[in-house]
Structure 1
Amino acid sequence: MQTCARWLGRGGIIPLRSGTLLLLLVPPVLLALQLLVAGPRLPRVTGSGEREGAVAFSVISIEPEREPRQRGSPSREEEEGDRREGTRAYEDENEVLSRQMGPRTLEVQPWAEDKPSFTAELNRLLTYITRPQLNCSRVLSPGRAEASQPPADSPHWLLCAEDWLLPAADGPCVAYSFSMDGGDAEFLKTVSGLGCEVHSFDPSNSNASGRHLGNGLASNHGDGGVVSQHKMWLEWRAARKRKHKTRDNLGGVSQRLADIMAALGHHTVHFLYANLLSAEWRVFQNWIETETLQSVQHLVATVHLQWAGFEVGGTDEEVLRYWFSVLQGLHASGLKLVHSSAGEGHSVLKHTVADAHSSYTLSWVNTRH
């Protein structure tokens, strides 16, 4: 049975078969069924104009990513201020470290002549340590606490007793002595007679008599003339682990002068005696570079010439130039030589020199006080 239908085309009415008509009706029917099934699931429009159930989209920005600032967190300006403050604190710490390590280094002096010469370097050194740079009309002689005119003979050491160089009568007076050979007995007697607070340092003296004895430090504030004994020695190297130092404990038997003074609460040492058995050159260098000498008013020290000294190396000419550079550093720090006394022996760096001695005890005064 044929179903007759008509199709209006360009050529007029075209007869269609029933199979062809069925194919044309399938797509509309499928579309209608899809709408009937999916229609209830379509998103509904809410009162705000947004479609309920719509997919949320993320906006991608090409600007640099910024951390969201939480409530109470600092702003960018505050963060930059903190960074500047941290940098400033770091710089301040470096400044403190610079002061601890020394704002300057030892200045090595030029050669005495155009080329290294043992004779020229030795003569320059001897000229310096045997010629006083300051004349004192009144002095304190070994074992005596009364000022007098310079004695006719040449004592082992002298303290310049000009009024402007001595501590005030109603002020504090502090004295340190570093000696392991007992050669400081007259020095201790002199400064004790002046009523000073006296501290004697000797790491080898286990039977020392006095008010205090031990590795710790204790002060005799208010007890002028009393000698405090300490089993401790001078160091020129900075401690590897710097722990907090207290008045009664420095944590070791070898410390730098600045650390000892800090532990004892002293800002000035008015009289200091030192026989450091060839360690004096490196100790002096440390005092120069850390400006510890600004806190020392009178210095009596023995320098040893028979060998280079602890941690001092080089040729004989280089050692002599180094020694002279250290002495010039003391001079630049304000110390003026007031007395020189020659020791025994005639050995200089293992050379026998008839007109030189193996050691000299030198007395300085700091004219910057």
Structure 2
Amino acid sequence: MWRERLTLGLLLRLGILLTGLAVCLHVYLETGWQDARGPLSLGLPIQSNQNPGQQNRMSTEPEEQNKGIRKKMSHVSSHILRRDSHRHRKTPRWRIDLQPWASENQSLEEEARRFLNYITTPQVSCASTAGNGSSLDRSKSEWVVCLDPKYSLVHRMQRKHCRVYSFGLGPNERFLEHFLAESGCEVHCFDPSLKEPHQQEAEMWHHRLSVDWRDPNPAFSAQRQHATTKKLATILNEFGHRELDVLKADMESAEWKILENLVLEGVLDTVGQLLLEIHLHWAGFEVGGDDPAVVRYWFSLLKELERAKFHLFHAYSDPMKPHLFLHKNVLNASSVYTLSWVNTQWNPARMLDKPKK
């Protein structure tokens, strides 16, 4: 028995030894073949029966092939990077990026000063606008859209490819919506107080629905035939809409959490212009923290809009509204502002928009 074990051990060792020799031989042959090409890679002359012209052509052909391969690889890599970065932008985020404090002492006055200056300073000019105020003075218009030819809305209106969503609570005057509908836009008005789920009135659609920062709990929505609040991404998906030329929203202090949802889920990429009424007399639904932290959160949300290429072109404050800022009179600020942004990078032509029937 011990002799058999000894024989097996010797055979095993012999096999390992032969394998090692084979590996060494392979490495030696590979190294020798590379050394044979060494002078070319080092730039040294090679003795050959070919004439110099033939040698030069042969030496440059591999380099040209390598350049072509590297160029193709670079093109493919850049395409992959662009695709991956686009996918990364579409990936939902968990929280917004808070901006640094306005001052080291984190005071309410400094936070309010920065915030109010930001919302009352237009970032881009708009050569032509339309609103619900006097045609002679658009600065007195509460809701305003930009019809500057350098942006897409006016061209989309001319081609009858324009789509508008208008969210509001209760009976509101809809001068702007009627103007856009008469100008060739497909206008959808959302109001959860309507009696019918959907109805068409003249040139506009009305829906018993409103936008929210979350979808309804399935356990509760199953008990009702129609849920009255949904996220904008859900509404777009159910309606089969890929883009909105104008999104208008007056959500009575729910705007901050709704705006946060639009930012985190990347829905703003589908919007050309955003018209939003903001309420400053209190923090807003489900917005927590002390007063300076609340204003910092508001400011950070608006900076997220700027990151998404939205730029403010119109701001309006109603002189009839009380001057309350988080239940205080801070810098004589109004309690309500209506703001209008245009997405300067919006290109609906990439979204394969189909002509209206």
Q: Does TM-score exceed 0.5, indicating one fold?
A: yes
Q: Decide which structure has the larger Cα Rg and report it.
A: 1
What residue in structure 2 maps to residue 363 of structure 1?
Answer: 340
* Partner Cα distance (1:250, 1:256) in 2: 17
CA distance in 2: counterparts of 1:300 and 1:183, whole angstroms? 15
C-alpha spacing 1:202/1:236, structure 2 compared with 1 (3 Å): same
Residue 209 (structure 2) aligns with: 232
The answer to whether 1:305 aligns with 2:258 is: no
Shift of 1:183: 3.4
Distance 2:302 2:216 in 1: 25
**Structure 2 counterparts to residues 184-263 of structure 1, below 5 A:** 184-206=173-195, 213-214=196-197, 226-241=203-218, 251-263=226-238
Distance in 1, Cα, partners of 2:123 & 2:88: 32
Q: Per-residue deviation at 1:103?
A: 4.1
Q: What residue in structure 1 maps to residue 98 of structure 2?
A: 108
Tell me by how many angstroms 1:313 deviates. 0.8
Instruction: Tell me the SS of whatever aligns to 1:109.
Output: coil
State whether residues 215 and 229 of structure 2, in contact with CA within 8 Å, keep that contact through their aligned partners in structure 1. no
Q: CA shift at 1:205, angstroms?
A: 3.3
Matching residue's letter, 1:155 = S
The letter for the 1-side match of 2:330 is V
SS at match of 2:238: helix
Q: CA RMSD in A?
A: 2.9
Aligned residue number for residue 42 of structure 2: none
Range with greater deviation from structure 2 (119-128 or 133-142) = 133-142
Q: Is this contact kept in 2: 1:177–1:184, CA < 8 A?
A: no
Mapping of residues 36-47 of structure 1, within 5 Å: none
Pair 1:154 & 2:143 matched: no
TM-score (norm 2): 0.65
Amino acid at match of 1:315: D
| Cα 1:191/1:162, change in 2 over 3 Å | same
For residues 133-165 of structure 1, give each alpha carbon's deviation from its aligned partner in whole angstroms, at most 9, with x where no partner exists. Answer: 111111112279xxx8x7365211321111232
- Secondary structure of 2:150's counterpart equals helix
Looking at structure 1, the residues matched to 105 and 173 of structure 2 have their Cα atoms a distance apart, in angstroms, of 41
Which residue of structure 2 lines up, in the alignment, with residue 66 of structure 1?
none
Q: Is the 8 A contact 1:296 1:366 kept in 2?
A: yes
TM-fit CA distance, 1:240: 4.5
Secondary structure class of the residue paired with 1:351: coil
Aligned to 1:142: 132
| Offset from partner CA, 1:270-324 (integer Å, 9 cap, x none) | 1111100000000000000111011111111100000010000110011010000
How far residue 239 of structure 1 moved from its aligned partner, in angstroms, is: 4.6
CA drift at 1:330:
1.1
> Which one-letter code corresponds to 2:236 in the other structure?
M
> Which residue number corresponds to residue 47 of structure 1?
none
- Structure 2 residue runs of 5 or longer lacking an equivalent are 1-86, 347-357
SS at match of 2:341: strand
Once the 2 structures are TM-superposed, how far is the Cα of residue 233 of structure 1 from its aligned partner? 1.0
The one-letter code of the counterpart of 1:256 is: K
Unaligned runs of 5+ in 1: 1-96, 207-212, 243-248
Which has a greater percent of helix?
2
What residue number does 1:54 align with? Answer: none
1:1-369 paired onto structure 2 within 5 Å: 102-103=92-93, 105-142=95-132, 151=137, 153-165=139-151, 166=153, 167-168=155-156, 169-170=158-159, 172-206=161-195, 213-214=196-197, 226-241=203-218, 251-343=226-318, 344-353=321-330, 355-369=332-346
Distance 2:272 2:170 in 1: 24
Contact in 2 for aligned 1:138/1:162 (Cα 8 Å): yes
Q: Deviations over 1:180-235 (max 9, x none)?
A: 243341121121122111111111233xxxxxx31xx68x8xx9x72111111111
1:355: how far off? 2.1
Secondary structure of the 1:348 match is: coil
